[in-house]
Structure 1
Amino acid sequence: MAMSVIGAGPDKDRTRFFRLNLVIIDELTPILRDLLHNEIQPTDIFNTVKQKYLKIFRPDEIALISTAKTKSYNDFDITLLYKLLRNVCPNISSPTIKWGLSKMPSQNEITVGDDIERIRLIRNNVQGHITEAAIPETEFQEYWSTISDICTRMQTLLNKDYVRRLKKAEECTIDSETENNYMDKIKQLAKEEEDMKEILLKILEEKELTSKENLNIEAKCGRKRKFVETLTNTSIYILNEMVKSINEMTSESEIDQLYENIEDFMQGNKEEVDNEQFLKLHEKLKRKSHYMQIQTSQIK
């Protein structure tokens, strides 16, 4: 489907930016949700991930996946949907070349995996313009043609009217209220991801994680309190399972050697890395290594 020429100039560039974001949020993201629903029912997704794919996902992602039983995939963003479709759905045909490329698939590469890659790249590229909130006409036309082709193929595959919905998105008015609405949505998506990283960092840095300990981490937003509780519990579960596996499969001497190797690496590279978290981890590792040396000497 060809897109009509909107025009040139700063205002038109801004309109194009928000129209593409409207399509990314309201049309392309639902396509990925429909693809996932077609492969795995929301009631089954958490158990599937827990049984085979736990190590692929971050604790905050697993916490969100656990809500699918009651909320379906409605809160899953493109990042999480992409990871699930790529890693957990064996019936999804892979991209023609491979997953995770930085270049858009060519026009003759039209597997389902190719279209999933296109959606990921379109989202990344378009939202990379957020600082200026503008898309030039030529770039817009290229994106719109690609999105139109995706909708046509997905409509054939999933028997849903994506083409008509894209036509409505083409014709809808983009006024200041719509711009503010979608800018808020873009910023909220970014903020939620940062909030989850902060929560994880708090869990990992400030607590000795045990299965019996209670962690009190308050959500900044009341409606997310239950989600944060689930995230905390999931984080503890995952980390405990990791520690358990290490203890079962690794001897004390091998663990000691691992600490020494990491300590040597961090000691040799800390001057080159201006990163507060790196330095904090280095200090914790030094204390841990010192403690282990004391324990070893007492045993001897």
Structure 2
Amino acid sequence: MSDIFKERHAKLGSMVLRLFPKVMQMILKYYVTPNGLQKRFSKNDFRLVFTENEVVLMEKLPKIDDFTIEISYKILRFEFNMLDEPKCKWGNVPHDTEVEIADDVQRLINATHSIIKINTEEVTAQYSEKLLEEIKCMVTRIDSYLEQDDLRNLYTSLCRSETDSSSILQDLTFVKAIEESLPDTESDKRERYSRLSIPIIDIFPKILRDVIRKCEPVAKFLHQRCVPVLTTFYPEQQRIIEELQYSNTYDSLDVSSIYHILRRLKLIPQPTKDWGTLPDKVDINLGDDVERIRCYRNNLAHRSDTKIKKNEFNEYFNEFRSIGHRMDLYFSQPTNYEQEIVDCRTCGMDTAMQAKYENAMMEIENIKLRFEKRPIKFYWGDDFDTWLTNLRSLLKEEKIEGRQQVRVQIIFQNEEEVERNIVVLNSLTEEINEGLSGIEFIVATKGSLVLNVFILVEMLETDEKLLTTLAVFLEKILARITTVTSETIDIVVLPVEGLLVILN
């Protein structure tokens, strides 16, 4: 190998070993005083979990001259949340026009990874010159931000100085890739739930009010259109609809009420896969997005916990943003729903705000533990209670006879081997249904383990009958699938939209 390749790689390596740690130390000192860090560390007031090597560095506080790139980055981003999200989002490559401090921190991390991973024989003159120019621009901007010129001077000094190529390349082998994310904490998961709650509580209701306002601008006229079908709504929804004739505004309508009005009055085209079913990604008409809003709202409101993993969080937000984008295109007046949703992802959130949205979500459905037969815990909310009450009243008043069925959904919370268990259950439906009394099921395949269960109406006459039937059924299911290795299994029971009573 030519010495020139070693020299180029070593020159870049000196930036990683000597310049980049100094950059991160200075940014850290700009936001947080070393004495303040020392005080918090002495009180064990950090939520971060430090490695053994990092503990040694923290014990040297207020001296931070030996702080690595990673420990400075971890403290700034994960402990104090001082760095705003880069426009490209963490872990990506910033555009040349993106020049905020967080964008340059991301460039520094990307450069570090590139320099420590590249093979020496691949360090061409073009690669080296381009990267050095990027580093020069980066430290110049950061100096300007910090109102100094120390980093540019250090960069110039390193470029001009002689390098011991072998020594630097050897030291470079000990530099590890920077972890750009931390293991999930319970607090992280709950914060994600609260962030997802903001569009559900604040933005989606506004979107649907705009939809129904476009269909019928005058609220009292909408009330008149609802009168012929008013008895098909729940009593609380009937009350809200009756008030429209006096208030002449849609501000009192929630997601559930608007959804039922749009559907009952056929004010918009029905979703591609019909009402009550989550649309596929390719289904993007107005009805599809109204159905998505209902499904996502219910999925989050029906959870038995408030913990959202990172991948699930990203999937939800990508879907939410797409809905906002299409709705911005749908309305003739200017709206900004997509940006409002994007802002929810990174907006400041203190504990009071987190609790506010978490509680608001929980109040939508009021999900509670209703019954336990180890290892199964059964949860359901107000919707299911209302549904049961209405069904039992109907059975009593109409004196329905014969073997009729109703459909409910049973959702396994925190199920990890979804795809495998869906395949297993789909292959065993006939076998499982054969020995059951008063119940049969099919399996849904939308992202989580969902059982669509058809139950004979006589099994719903009392809570005791219902719970005993479900327990026997689920014991048979659990004997055939691999579930989460935990002491308990959380099951959420839901009524299925639009399927109250079905003839067998």
Q: How far did 1:174 drift?
A: 2.1
1:3 shift after superposition: 6.5
Q: Contact 2:259–2:294 (CA<8 Å) still a contact in 1?
A: yes
1:192-243 per-residue CA deviation (whole Å, 9 max, x = no partner) reads: x949x78xx79x98xxxxxxxxxxxxxxxxxxxxxxxxxxxxxxxxx9xxxx
The alignment-based identity, stated in percent, is 25
Aligned to 1:147: 320
SS at match of 1:66: helix
3-state SS in 2 of match to 1:135: coil
Larger Rg: 2
1:89-113 residue CA offsets vs partner (Å, 9 max, x unmatched): 43x1221121111xx3222211001
Over 3 Å counting, the alpha-carbon distance change for 1:165 and 1:272 in structure 2 is: closer
Task: Give the CA RMSD over aligned residues.
Answer: 3.8
Contact 2:220/2:248 (<8 A) preserved: no
1:166 is displaced (CA, Å) by: 1.6
Distance 2:285 2:298 in 1: 20
Q: Secondary structure at the residue paired with 1:67?
A: helix
Q: Deviations over 1:124-165 (max 9, x none)?
A: 112233x32111111111111111111011001113111221
2:341 alignment partner, one of 150, 162, 166: 166
Separation in 1 of the partners of 2:263 and 2:252? Answer: 18
1:177 to partner: Cα distance? 0.2
**Paired residues of 1:3 and 1:144 also in contact (CA < 8 A):** no
Whichever residue aligns with residue 115 of structure 1, its letter is D
Specify the alignment match of 2:238 in structure 1: 62
The one-letter amino acid paired with 2:279 is: P
From 249, 272, 296, the equivalent of 1:122 is: 296
Deviation of residue 263 (structure 1)?
6.8
CA separation of 1:34 and 1:271: change in aligned 2, threshold 3 A: closer
The answer as to whether partners of 1:2 and 1:145 remain within 8 angstroms in 2 is no
Q: 1:75 aligns with which of 252, 260, 267?
A: 252
- Where does residue 47 of structure 1 map in the other structure? 224
Q: Is this contact kept in 1: 2:199–2:341, CA < 8 A?
A: yes
Whose strand proportion is higher, 1 or 2?
2
Q: How far apart are the structure 2 equivalents of 1:271 and 1:118?
A: 33
Contact residue 36 and residue 81 of structure 1 kept, 8 A: yes
- Looking at structure 1, the residues matched to 290 and 88 of structure 2 have their Cα atoms a distance apart, in angstroms, of 21
Q: In structure 2, give the amino acid aligned to 1:127.
A: A
Alignment of 1:165-204 (within 5 A): 165-190=340-365, 194=382
Alignment of 1:1-300 (within 5 A): 8-10=183-185, 11-40=187-216, 41-51=218-228, 53-69=229-245, 70=247, 72-90=249-267, 92-101=268-277, 104-129=278-303, 131-158=304-331, 159-190=334-365, 194=382, 262=400, 272-273=459-460, 275=462
2:208 and 2:255 in contact (8 A); partners too = yes
Give the equivalent residue in structure 1 for 2:136: none
- Cα distance in 1 for partners of 2:215, 2:238 equals 18
Per the TM alignment, residue 274 of structure 1 is displaced from its structure 2 partner at its CA by 5.7
Asked if structure 2 preserves the Cα contact closer than 8 Å seen for 1:3 and 1:145, the reply is no
- Structure 1 Cα separation of the partners of residues 322 and 361 of structure 2: 24
Query: What secondary structure is seen at the aligned counterpart in 2 of 1:120?
Result: helix
Residue ranges of structure 2 left out of the alignment (5+ in a row): 1-86, 92-180, 367-380, 405-455, 466-504
Q: Give the SS at the match of 1:105.
A: coil
Contact 2:193–2:307, Cα closer than 8 Å, also in 1: yes
Amino acid at match of 1:9: D
Cα pair 2:272 2:288 within 8 Å, conserved: yes
Most deviating of 56-65 and 107-116 = 56-65
The structure with the greater share of residues assigned to helix is 1
Question: Contact between 1:3 and 1:141, CA under 8 Å: does it hold in 2?
Answer: no
SS at match of 1:20: helix
Corresponding letter in the other structure for 2:226: V
The answer as to whether partners of 2:301 and 2:364 remain within 8 angstroms in 1 is no
Q: Please give the alpha-carbon distance, in whole angstroms, between the structure 1 residues aligned to 2:324 and 2:306.
A: 25
Label 1:173 to 1:81 Cα distance change in 2 as closer, same or farther (>3 A): same
Q: Aligned pair in 2 of structure 1 residues 270, 163: CA closer, same or farther (>3 Å)?
A: closer
Number of aligned residues = 219
The answer on whether the counterparts of 2:322 and 2:338 sit within 8 Å (CA) in structure 1 is no
Gaps of 5+ in 1: 206-238, 240-254, 279-300
Counterpart amino acid of residue 254 in structure 2? D
Task: Tell me the secondary structure at the aligned position of residue 269 of structure 2.
Answer: coil
Change (3 A) 1:2 1:54: farther
